[in-house]
Structure 1
C-alpha cells in the first residue's frame, strides 16, 4: 500500500508538473509570443500602408507629368507660368506654421476624396488626350496641375521634415526653361519651314508662268496667316528672308549660305517685326 501510495504520489506530481509547464507555455504564447506576433503583424500592416502610399504617390507623379505635357501642348508659356505658381505656393507653405499643412491637406482631401478623383483625363489609355479634353478648359487643366502638385508637396512636408529635394527648385526651373525654349523654337522652325516651302512654290510658279512685271515684284509673298519678305543685309553673303507669322504672332529670319564646295547651310533665327534682332533657334 505504501509503495502504491508513493507511486500514485509521483504520478500526481508529474501531472501537476505537466499542467504547470502547459500553463507556462500558454502564458508565454499569450504574453511573449503573442506580443511578437502582434508586433510583426503591426510591422506588416505599416509596411503595406507605406507601399500603398508609395504606389499612390508614384501614380500622382506620373499624372502630374501627363498634365504638364498637356499644358506644353497648349503653350509652353502656360506651362512655365503654372510651374511658377506652384513654386510660389511652395514658398508660402514653407514660411507658414505646421497647421497650414494639415488645413490644406484637409481641404484637398475634401475636394478629392479618392486618388482617382485627381485624374483629369479619366479615359482608356489609347484614347487621344485631344478627344478626352475637348470640353475641358485651359483653366481647369492648370488648376488640376496645381492641385496634384500641392498634394505631392503636402505629403512630403507633413512629417514636419523638409525633404532632401523639394518639388519645385532652381535646378528644376533651369531645366524647364531650356525645355520650353526648345519646344518654342521647334514650333517656330516648323512654321518657318512651311512658310518658306509655300514661298518657294510661289517663286517657281512665278518663274515659269508669271509676267515680267510680276517676276520683278516677287520680293514679297503673303498667304493666309504668313508672309515672306526678301531681306538685304549689307556685306552679308547669306540669302535672307523675313518670315511673319500670325496666330500666334511670331517673326523669324531664314537664311541660307552656299559654300564653295556646293554645300548649303540653313539658319533659323527668332526675330521681331523689323527683323533687326536675330536669336538663333535651339530646337534640339
Structure 2
C-alpha cells in the first residue's frame, strides 16, 4: 500500500509538473506573442502615418508646382519674385533657433487645419484654372505659393537636421532664371510674329490698292497696341523691322535674311525704344 501511495503521489506530481509546464509555456507564448503583436502593430501604425505624411507631402509638392505654373501664366516675373521671397524665408529660418520652426508650424497649422485647405484651386480636375481663379487676386496666389513652400520647408527641418537638398537653392535658381527667360522670350516672339503678320497684310493691301503717295510713305505701320517700322542698318544684308508693343510695353527687332540658295532665315531680338540694342531671343 505504501508503495502504491508513493507511485500514485509521483504520478500526481508528474501531472502537476506537466500542467504547470504547459501553463508556463502557454503564458510564455501568449506573453511573448502579445509583445510581438503589439510591437508589430505599433510599427504598422507608425509606418501608416509615415506613408500618409509622405503622400500628403507629395500632394503639396504637386500643388506647389500647379501654383507656380499659374504664376508663370500670369507673369514670369511674379514667379521669380515669389521664389526669391521663399528663398529669403529659408535663409531666415536656417539662422533662427529651433523654437522658430515649431512656432511657424503652429501658425500655419492654425491657418490650414487640413492638408486640403492648402488647395487654392479647389475644383474639379477638368475645370480650367482661368475660370476657377477669376476672382482670386495675384497677391493671394503668391501668398499660397509661399505658404505651401513654408510648410514643406518646415517639415524638412522639423527633425533638427538639415536636409540633403534644400527647397530653395542656387542650382534651382539658375534653372528658374533660364526657364523664365525662355517663357518671356517665347511670349515676345509670338507678339512680334502677330505684329508682323498684321504688317504684311497691311503691306500687301497697300501694294494692291494703295495710291502711289501711300506706297511711298509706308515705312511705318500702327494699329491698336502695336506698331512696326522699317529699320535701316548700314552694310547689313538683313531686312529689319522695329516692333513696338504696349500692354505690356516691349520692343523687338524682326530680321530676315535671304540666303544664296533662296532659303530665308528669321531672327528675333529683344530691344528698346531706339532699336539699337539686340538681345537675341531664346525660346522653346
Using the size of structure 2 for normalisation, the TM-score is 0.97
Q: CA offset at residue 7 of structure 1? A: 4.3
- Range with bigger deviation, 45-54 or 97-106: 45-54
* Secondary structure in 1 matching 2:145: helix
Inter-partner Cα distance in structure 1 for 2:159 and 2:11: 62
Inter-partner Cα distance in structure 1 for 2:18 and 2:228: 104
* Secondary structure in 1 matching 2:56: helix
Cα-to-partner distance string for 1:57-102 (whole Å, 9 max, x where unaligned): 1000000000000000000000000000000000000000000000
Inter-partner Cα distance in structure 1 for 2:7 and 2:221: 124
Q: CA offset at residue 211 of structure 1? A: 0.3
Q: How does 1:229-244 map to 2 (within 5 A)?
A: 229-244=229-244
Inter-partner Cα distance in structure 2 for 1:57 and 1:167: 13
* Secondary structure in 2 matching 1:247: coil
* Secondary structure in 1 matching 2:167: coil
Inter-partner Cα distance in structure 1 for 2:120 and 2:14: 74
Q: Which residue of 1 aligns with 2:271?
A: 271
- Range with bigger deviation, 34-43 or 21-30: 21-30
Q: Which sections of structure 1, spanning at least 5 residues, go unmatched?
A: none
Q: CA offset at residue 45 of structure 1? A: 1.2
Q: Number of aligned residue pairs: give it.
A: 284
Q: CA offset at residue 2 of structure 1? A: 4.0
Inter-partner Cα distance in structure 1 for 2:66 and 2:184: 19
Inter-partner Cα distance in structure 2 for 1:209 and 1:7: 135
* Secondary structure in 1 matching 2:267: strand
Q: CA offset at residue 39 of structure 1? A: 1.6
Inter-partner Cα distance in structure 2 for 1:192 and 1:4: 118
Q: CA offset at residue 158 of structure 1? A: 0.3
* Secondary structure in 2 matching 1:241: strand
Inter-partner Cα distance in structure 2 for 1:26 and 1:46: 29
Inter-partner Cα distance in structure 1 for 2:102 and 2:26: 45
Cα root mean square deviation, aligned: 1.1
* Secondary structure in 2 matching 1:136: coil
Inter-partner Cα distance in structure 1 for 2:88 and 2:236: 47
Inter-partner Cα distance in structure 2 for 1:135 and 1:19: 79
Q: CA offset at residue 5 of structure 1? A: 2.7
Cα-to-partner distance string for 1:228-263 (whole Å, 9 max, x where unaligned): 010000110000000000000000000000000000
Inter-partner Cα distance in structure 1 for 2:107 and 2:29: 46
Q: Which residue of 2 aligns with 1:108?
A: 108
Cα-to-partner distance string for 1:10-29 (whole Å, 9 max, x where unaligned): 33123212221133124323
Cα-to-partner distance string for 1:40-66 (whole Å, 9 max, x where unaligned): 221111111111111011000000000
Inter-partner Cα distance in structure 2 for 1:2 and 1:183: 108
Q: How does 1:89-238 map to 2 (within 5 A)?
A: 89-238=89-238
Cα-to-partner distance string for 1:85-132 (whole Å, 9 max, x where unaligned): 000000000000000000000000000000000000011111100011
Inter-partner Cα distance in structure 1 for 2:116 and 2:29: 43
Using the size of structure 1 for normalisation, the TM-score is 0.97
